[in-house]
Amino acid sequence: MMQQKTVVLILGAVVFSVVGQLFLKSGAQHLSATDRFDFLFAAARDHHVLSGLAAWIASTICWLYVLRVVPLSRAYGLTSLTFVLVPLASVYVFGEQVRRLHGVGTVLILIGVACLLYGD
């Protein structure tokens, strides 16, 4: 079983990744009216985009700490929690809809994560 600190760091990487995706989506929505040339300049100044990138950096820092102590082959599977949390958060934050088959896939991911955590 992984140490509690390691699990917290993995979850930190996942949560920062999810938050980053939400900020980037929000930023992209704000930038939807810009033309191609202005898009990059507007993105570089948009606080949602910048927050999303900051969250991505925080996620990467957590992940680097994890990789120091856990084999990549074991830890990487746990990052699939983002495939569970991003759709759930997008339903809540953006009002997106999740189809039934997507829900089945989400449950399968959770079963896989449980197998990774308790497989030792």
- Find out whether 19 and 27 touch, Cβ atoms under 8 Å: no
Tens digits of residue pLDDT in 12-61: 999 999 999 999 999 998 887 777 778 888 888 999 999 999 999 999 99
What is the pTM for the complete model shown? 0.87
Residue 21's pLDDT is 97
Quick one: pLDDT band at residue 95, thresholds 50, 70, 90?
very high
